[in-house]
Structure 1
Amino acid sequence: MAGVSSAIVLFTTAHAVSTFYATASAPLVALGSAIIDFTPGWLKDLAINIFGTNDKLFLFGVLSVAAVLFAALIGRFARRSMAAATIAVLILAAVLGVAVLSRSATSLQDIVPTLIGTVLGLGTLKMLVALVPDSILPPEEGSAAPAISRRRFMFAAAGSVAVGLLAAGSTQALRGARNVAEMARSALGLPPAKMKAAPLPSGADMNIPGVSSFLTPSKDFYRIDTALSVPKIDPQQWTLRIHGMVEEEYSLNFSDLLGMDLVEHYLTLTCVSNPVGGDLIGNAKWLGYPLRDLLARAKPLQGADMVLSTSIDGFSASTPLEILTDNRQALLAIGMNDEPLPLEHGFPARMVVPGLYGYVSATKWVVDLEVTRFQDKTAYWTTRGWSAKGPIKMSSRIETPRSFAKLPSGPIVFGGTAWSQHVGISKVEISIDGGPWQEATLSTDVSVDTWRQWRYEWKGAAPGNHTATVRATNSQGELQSEITAAPAPNGSSGWHRLQFSVE
């Protein structure tokens, strides 16, 4: 109990003090972020497949349990040797300090929260160990001393934890008040687009119960990134540097970006970790400035073939230069679904690129674009064994009914979505119980860069167990691959198949 109580004091007070420093100065956040960086790619992919967008919550849970166990062990050491326990705590503090300094958005001063938390945690440990009663047996008749010692220890431990939690809780409100990024986002009025997205045509959304709507609400849009704590950037302090193999290096700030000729575009984003039939995909209306125009101003040199984009938290992505400079609407986005970007989706600016998985294109909180070559530079995920270019594979999924659903007899409506970014979907087919392929009805096409919904009604449902399989064909006549492939190293493939039963 002494060890665990001391650890709570260490982490809660460090978290409280981190309010006045960089977000990544909170030691548990920094340690979690460092663990993400060093976790093997296959293990990250497994975590995403199992926990989806709750992967970071799971990591925090694992870290908390590990911290409790380690703290309890240190408490046992302290009972035997305070010197050994002190060394263990200092080793832990050194690890936390290194984790803080490993974050690209931190500096030497950002280890102050860890230092203060360590001092207070050690002080609490020494105090509580001194109060541990010599005997934990019931007091002898007529002697209340051991009971009084235990009571004094319990009061001291509870008081220490309460003070730590109170400090963390009180500064949480201050943290919210000091969140310049959120206040700036709330006050930001997006400028009108020079080229607005066309109104959605009739039939773009088939309104099938259980099927994703054509536009994904921002609050429901999937979030997969390496930022354990969302960067909070004051847009007045934000700059984007464009440099490398260019004739003219330059930088722009957020005011510059707001004054440019912005455009709107519907675009479906997909995570490379999305399994066949998965939900790590979403479609939104984006507002931003064409990346090809930003790069044209810099004038890339002959021989350059890649743009290395870097986030303020150190994440990087390798995007083929030719894709950022062709006729597709690759944007430096500032708006999402008619609102400023949410903080968790990259405020104040991020990249969105049609036809590429997010890990090589959709850099959030972007602050640097370096024109370079694939043979000279590697990005965050490519150094971990993933494909360097990441073109999105054509895919389709059944969203209703769900796997293993028990359905009443009568007509059954199947529905889902299909996508082949920057090529477009022309046909979706469904096979029931391995029978002939039947063509589904498609929603109205909006853009080659967005998904399309589909619908099929099966009227011959007999009682019993059944299977359904879906496949798509793109606008170039290519059939979706039947070959099953895992997400690593360049995206999943295969036909989505599910089982269900009719009563």
Structure 2
Amino acid sequence: MKAVRKSTRRASSFAMLAGVLAAGLVLGVAELAGSFFSTRSAPLIALGSTFIDFTPSWLKDFAIDTFGTNDKLALFIGMAVTIVILAAILGYLAWRRWILGVAGVLFMGAVMVAAVVSRAGASALDAVPSVIGTLAGLAALRWMIVKLHAAVPAAAQADDDGVYSADEPSPERAKTGASRRAFFAAAGVTAVVAGATAAGGAVISAARSTVNAARRQLSFPDPVDTAKPVPEGVDVALEGVDPWLTPNPDFYRIDTALQVPTIDVDTWELRIHGMVEEEIRMNFQDLLDSELIERHITLTCVSNPIGGDLVGNAKWLGYPIRKLLERARPTEGADMVLSTSTDGFSASTPLPVLQDERDAIFAIAMNDEPLPLEHGYPVRMVVPGLYGYVSATKWVVDLEVTRFADATAYWTDRGWSEKGPIKTQSRVEVPKPFAKVAAGTYRAGGTAWAQNRGIDKVEVQIDDGPWEEATLAIEYTVDTWRQWTHEVQLEPGSHRIRSRAYDPDGVQVEERTDTVPNGASGWHSVQFSAE
């Protein structure tokens, strides 16, 4: 009996291994087949995107707060662990009752298909790779399970009641069947094929994609209205304070795209429709032939916590959105523009904001180079004074002029506010939390922002002492952030430093609130020590 129990445990482990390998084959074959279809057919991306869509807001906020810009990596790791666990369970069920394994694999295949066809712009044809992958995985699982039954002693295959399934090999066949080597051969072949197909899909997709190469070769005409020169005094040059101009690789990225869209500029088109007198369609060349402007604008994510780093400042080249709206001529009663990305994300921007004199643009370049793929190439929206979730649509392809009463957007459907004006904020960057600094005269520093209003003053407080006015760097425009520094006298021991900013309407809100539903508020404080 001990030998039987040992053999049963070993067989169970082998069966779970078979399930994991079969799942790998499902995804590998689907990815390979998907390389001959549209990018929307990729099952992993579709599953991840569907998971994001159905994830409650509190869990998304937790992921962003915990992992920041690594939230997508955390999601993929979680998906991988989940798939492995479920696949192992299916492998075990298939060994005990083949019909249960079949039902489980088909159910998972149906979930993949549903995730794929529910993506924006997907068609029924995009489900074909998932179907092919599911059938390949089912065949491989059957092959390995048959070999496993043949390699395991008969007594180890019986149910708790000692009964054998009609569709499973008999004890007699088990005694005379192939050895364990046959199972491992089947498992090895499945693993190799799974890896080869996944790699093949990646290679084919990479070979077919010329988007990034085309992006690097783009050249832009000179803007009709260039950004004014940046004076030397905008940067306080204090180590530890982020540079005034954020380099593209360091610019924060928060969006819902698990796979960065790759769009051919030759096929890109922007449509403006809805409550307008004239529907407009514009291609990329039309945009290049327009009167482009250049502006420095600071962007902020609504998920940025007090003192957070989900904010950045860049120089953008683009076409004013208000000019395109002037051509479309919105009709009476319209109060919102619903912008949509090629991946289905949508944002609801107040129409008056896009029509006033602020420099809201369709951006095509960032810091003197074509938009990076992950930042919206070939075209994205940049709107000063609004959080990105209601304004900064990347990979934008559609603008519908409508009303807040008639349409909702991705994040407003999930409990966030409709209009999202940026709140006045300041943060302490020097010293860092829990830093140890030298006692005596110490130079603290940080950044403040209030896009479309501007920063008039920043004050700093050490422990419970008086608020003292900090020295502000030169203001470039009201649409960019502003750095500050302040010299303080520190006694040895533990200290707290706080900052607060003033815009033309007064001091920033002291009460601390969460990022939901319209951005965090509160004075930033940092604990540190002097010695």
- Are the equivalent residues in 2 in contact too, given 1:305–1:320 (CA < 8 A)? yes
**Alignment of 1:501 onto 2:529:** yes
Once the 2 structures are TM-superposed, how far is the Cα of residue 417 of structure 1 from its aligned partner? 0.7
**Alignment of 1:125 onto 2:154:** no
In the other structure, the counterpart of 1:22 is: 38
Counterpart-to-counterpart distance in 1, 2:29 and 2:497: 55
- Are the equivalent residues in 1 in contact too, given 2:21–2:194 (CA < 8 A)? no
Once the 2 structures are TM-superposed, how far is the Cα of residue 137 of structure 1 from its aligned partner? 11
What does the per-residue CA deviation read over 1:398-457, in whole Å, with 9 as the maximum and x for residues that have no partner? Answer: 112111112233432211110000010111111001211111111111110010111112
- Are the equivalent residues in 1 in contact too, given 2:147–2:178 (CA < 8 A)? no
Counterpart-to-counterpart distance in 2, 1:136 and 1:208: 75
- Are the equivalent residues in 2 in contact too, given 1:56–1:228 (CA < 8 A)? yes
Counterpart-to-counterpart distance in 2, 1:312 and 1:189: 23
Counterpart-to-counterpart distance in 1, 2:426 and 2:331: 39
Q: Residues 234-253 of structure 1: matches in 2 within 5 Å?
A: 234-253=264-283
Counterpart-to-counterpart distance in 1, 2:312 and 2:153: 61
Once the 2 structures are TM-superposed, how far is the Cα of residue 486 of structure 1 from its aligned partner? 0.4
CA RMSD across the alignment: 1.7
In the other structure, the counterpart of 1:480 is: 508
- Are the equivalent residues in 2 in contact too, given 1:331–1:351 (CA < 8 A)? yes
In the other structure, the counterpart of 1:61 is: 77
Q: How does the TM-score come out when normalised to structure 1?
A: 0.96
**Inter-CA distance 464–8: structure 2 relative to 1 (3 Å threshold):** same
**Inter-CA distance 288–146: structure 2 relative to 1 (3 Å threshold):** farther
> Which of 80, 96, 107 does residue 123 from structure 2 map onto?
107
> Which of 338, 346, 366 does residue 336 from structure 1 map onto?
366
What does the per-residue CA deviation read over 1:188-246, in whole Å, with 9 as the maximum and x for residues that have no partner? Answer: 11221111111211111222111111111111111111111111111111111111111
- AA aligned opposite 1:208: L
- Are the equivalent residues in 1 in contact too, given 2:34–2:201 (CA < 8 A)? no
In the other structure, the counterpart of 1:469 is: 498
> Which of 421, 427, 442 does residue 397 from structure 1 map onto?
427
Q: Residues 7-156 of structure 1: matches in 2 within 5 Å?
A: 7-132=23-148, 133-135=151-153, 149-156=179-186
- Are the equivalent residues in 2 in contact too, given 1:180–1:233 (CA < 8 A)? no
- AA aligned opposite 2:248: S
- AA aligned opposite 1:38: F
Counterpart-to-counterpart distance in 2, 1:412 and 1:168: 56
Q: Residues 276-315 of structure 1: matches in 2 within 5 Å?
A: 276-315=306-345
**Inter-CA distance 462–250: structure 2 relative to 1 (3 Å threshold):** same
Once the 2 structures are TM-superposed, how far is the Cα of residue 136 of structure 1 from its aligned partner? 11
**Alignment of 1:189 onto 2:219:** yes
What does the per-residue CA deviation read over 1:67-91, in whole Å, with 9 as the maximum and x for residues that have no partner? Answer: 0010001001111121211111111
Once the 2 structures are TM-superposed, how far is the Cα of residue 464 of structure 1 from its aligned partner? 1.1
Once the 2 structures are TM-superposed, how far is the Cα of residue 477 of structure 1 from its aligned partner? 4.7
Counterpart-to-counterpart distance in 1, 2:388 and 2:152: 59
Counterpart-to-counterpart distance in 2, 1:379 and 1:93: 30
- Are the equivalent residues in 2 in contact too, given 1:136–1:146 (CA < 8 A)? no
- Are the equivalent residues in 1 in contact too, given 2:27–2:198 (CA < 8 A)? no
Counterpart-to-counterpart distance in 2, 1:153 and 1:220: 49
| SS of equivalent to 1:236 | coil
**Inter-CA distance 193–137: structure 2 relative to 1 (3 Å threshold):** farther
Counterpart-to-counterpart distance in 1, 2:440 and 2:216: 50
In the other structure, the counterpart of 2:349 is: 319
Counterpart-to-counterpart distance in 2, 1:7 and 1:365: 32
| SS of equivalent to 1:206 | coil
What does the per-residue CA deviation read over 1:41-96, in whole Å, with 9 as the maximum and x for residues that have no partner? Answer: 12211111111111111111111111001000100111112121111111111111
In the other structure, the counterpart of 1:142 is: none
Q: Residues 337-486 of structure 1: matches in 2 within 5 Å?
A: 337-458=367-488, 460-474=489-503, 476-486=504-514
Counterpart-to-counterpart distance in 1, 2:363 and 2:215: 14
Once the 2 structures are TM-superposed, how far is the Cα of residue 148 of structure 1 from its aligned partner? 7.7
- AA aligned opposite 2:89: L
Structure index of larger Rg: 2
- AA aligned opposite 2:510: E
> Which of 243, 248, 252 does residue 222 from structure 1 map onto?
252
**Inter-CA distance 117–477: structure 2 relative to 1 (3 Å threshold):** same
- Are the equivalent residues in 2 in contact too, given 1:22–1:105 (CA < 8 A)? no
| SS of equivalent to 1:386 | coil
- AA aligned opposite 1:16: L
- Are the equivalent residues in 2 in contact too, given 1:74–1:88 (CA < 8 A)? yes
Once the 2 structures are TM-superposed, how far is the Cα of residue 116 of structure 1 from its aligned partner? 1.5
Q: How does the TM-score come out when normalised to structure 2?
A: 0.91
- Are the equivalent residues in 2 in contact too, given 1:204–1:444 (CA < 8 A)? yes
**Inter-CA distance 319–130: structure 2 relative to 1 (3 Å threshold):** same
| SS of equivalent to 1:106 | coil
Counterpart-to-counterpart distance in 2, 1:176 and 1:5: 25
In the other structure, the counterpart of 1:265 is: 295
- AA aligned opposite 1:461: L
Give the unaligned 5+ runs of structure 1: 139-144
**Alignment of 1:489 onto 2:517:** yes
In the other structure, the counterpart of 2:6 is: none
Counterpart-to-counterpart distance in 2, 1:20 and 1:335: 31
In the other structure, the counterpart of 2:21 is: 5
What does the per-residue CA deviation read over 1:324-373, in whole Å, with 9 as the maximum and x for residues that have no partner? Answer: 00000000111111111111111111100000000000011111111111
